[in-house]
């Protein structure tokens, strides 16, 4: 990680306002994506979080239609949430957008203290990867698909790499699209800022994080887990990887640590290079219409769609 330069992030404090604004924007304006259905797509993290956090066992709109079949997109898409989040609060933008565009979309919770806990993604990453492995096998068995594509946020963009590398996932995954993944770890400052932004860790310090969140400790820069994950090559040759990251990421710090080592099957995308008006932070990037447009194109590069540049605010979205 010494090759990464320290970042400057004037917007980091914005995420701390989440608790005050979350309920106020719960009815934020949503947009409709083109396609065969008209599910509303939420482009605000604050709105999606407020609506989904307390219903972790409910799939977000557009997800978990087990009768879905798509000849245009034969690989089902599994959405993998991040640390402290759950399937419902993380994916109320991506799930309906993908469904509107003809994808069969599936979500699940992993790594929580209990199945019904709103807070998920805190357990040991090795155990969470095993849960992902089981869910991939369920999706493949029930849909008849040979492979799935994965879209993950934060830990959910990094953890699948353990599954691909160590649990046989390389033969079952076609693409991994990662939004602000912790591929090279993050500083403890970044991990605790995530907990503080979600009002889940008070006070935020390592003595609180460690016992409550083994995944947090494993995601620290230089941890044995991160070191082993990246040893011997960061990618599998038969999987296509896309990483989408923002300079405003206050959780994966430094933000350059999200990017994978250059390879023919890797594309690293800096969000601001695609749209300077998009100021998404770590939380909003999973809801950003710009970032989600890039996800659509990463999943189907043979049929790219125009990505409209627009103003996107940290946490609040567009």
Beta bridge partners of 148: 173
Mean pLDDT (the chain) is 86
Q: What is the pLDDT of residue 104?
A: 98
Give the DSSP H/E element, type plus range, for residue 159.
helix 155-166
In angstroms, the CA 188 to CA 280 distance is: 21
**Is residue 286's pLDDT more than 90?**
yes
Domain count, the chain: 1
Q: What is the pLDDT of residue 318?
A: 86
Q: What is the pLDDT of residue 303?
A: 96
**Is residue 171's pLDDT more than 60?**
yes
- pLDDT (mean) for 208-212: 57
For 18, how many CA atoms within 13 A lie in the half-sphere containing its CB? 28
The answer to whether residues 5 and 254 touch, using CB atoms and an 8 Å cutoff, is yes
**Is residue 30's pLDDT more than 90?**
no
Q: Within a domain: residue 121?
A: yes
Q: What is the pLDDT of residue 3?
A: 36
Smallest CA-to-CA distance from 155 within 125, 127, 192 is with 125
Q: What is the pLDDT of residue 199?
A: 59
Q: Any idea what the Cα angle at residue 111 is, between residues 110 and 117, rounded to 5°?
A: 85
Q: Within a domain: residue 310?
A: no
Q: What is the pLDDT of residue 107?
A: 98
**Residue with the two structure tokens 């990483």:** 243
Q: Within a domain: residue 281?
A: yes
Q: What is the pLDDT of residue 264?
A: 97
Q: Within a domain: residue 315?
A: no
Residues in the chain: 318
If pLDDT is split at 50, 70 and 90, which confidence band does 187 have?
confident
The answer to whether residues 46 and 316 touch, using CB atoms and an 8 Å cutoff, is yes
Q: Within a domain: residue 103?
A: yes
Q: Within a domain: residue 272?
A: yes
**Residue with the two structure tokens 């993290």:** 45
Q: Within a domain: residue 304?
A: no
In angstroms, the CA 70 to CA 75 distance is: 8
Smallest CA-to-CA distance from 304 within 148, 104, 150, 101 is with 101
Peptide linkage before 292 cis (omega within 30 of 0):
no
Q: What is the pLDDT of residues 234-256, one digit of tens each?
A: 999 999 999 999 999 999 999 99
Q: Within a domain: residue 82?
A: yes
Helix axes 155-166, 125-143, angle to 10 degrees: 80
Residue scoring higher pLDDT (207 or 91): 91
**Is residue 29's pLDDT more than 80?**
no
| Cβ count within 10 A of residue 261 | 12
Q: What is the pLDDT of residues 102-146, one digit of tens each?
A: 999 999 999 999 999 999 999 999 999 999 999 999 999 999 999
Q: What is the pLDDT of residue 310?
A: 97
| Cβ count within 10 A of residue 142 | 12
Residue scoring higher pLDDT (252 or 200): 252
**Is residue 12's pLDDT more than 80?**
no
Domain extent, residue 230, equals 12-299
**Is residue 149's pLDDT more than 90?**
yes
CATH of the domain at 286: 3.40.50.1820
């Amino acid at each position: 990680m010494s090759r990464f330069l320290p970042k400057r992030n004037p917007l980091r404090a914005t995420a701390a306002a989440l608790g005050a604004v979350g309920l106020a924007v719960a009815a934020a304006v949503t947009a409709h994506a083109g396609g065969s259905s008209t599910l509303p797509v939420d482009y605000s993290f604050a709105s999606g979080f407020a609506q989904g956090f307390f219903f972790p066992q409910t799939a977000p709109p557009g997800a978990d239609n087990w009768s879905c079949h798509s000849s245009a997109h034969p690989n089902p898409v599994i959405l993998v949430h991040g640390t402290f989040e759950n399937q419902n609060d993380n994916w109320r933008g991506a799930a309906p957008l993908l469904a509107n565009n003809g994808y069969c979309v599936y979500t699940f919770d992993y790594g929580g203290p209990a199945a019904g806990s709103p807070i998920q993604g805190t357990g040991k990453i090795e155990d969470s990867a095993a849960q992902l492995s089981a869910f991939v096998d369920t999706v493949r068995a029930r849909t008849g698909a040979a492979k799935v594509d994965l879209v993950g946020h934060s830990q959910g963009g990094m953890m699948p790499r353990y599954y691909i590398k160590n649990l046989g996932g390389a033969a079952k995954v076609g693409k991994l699209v990662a939004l602000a993944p912790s591929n090279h770890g993050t500083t403890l400052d970044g991990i605790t800022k995530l907990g503080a932004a979600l009002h889940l860790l008070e006070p935020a310090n390592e003595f609180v994080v460690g016992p409550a969140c083994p995944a947090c400790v494993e995601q620290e820069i230089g941890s044995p887990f991160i070191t082993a994950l990246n040893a011997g090559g960061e990618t599998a040759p038969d999987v296509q990887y896309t990483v989408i990251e923002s300079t405003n990421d206050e959780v994966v710090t430094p933000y350059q640590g999200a990017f994978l080592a250059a390879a023919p099957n890797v594309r690293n995308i800096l969000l601001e290079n695609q749209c300077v008006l998009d100021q998404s932070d770590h939380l909003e990037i999973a809801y950003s219409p710009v970032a989600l447009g890039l996800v659509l194109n990463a999943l189907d590069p043979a049929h790219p769609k125009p990505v409209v540049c627009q103003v996107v605010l940290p946490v609040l979205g567009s």
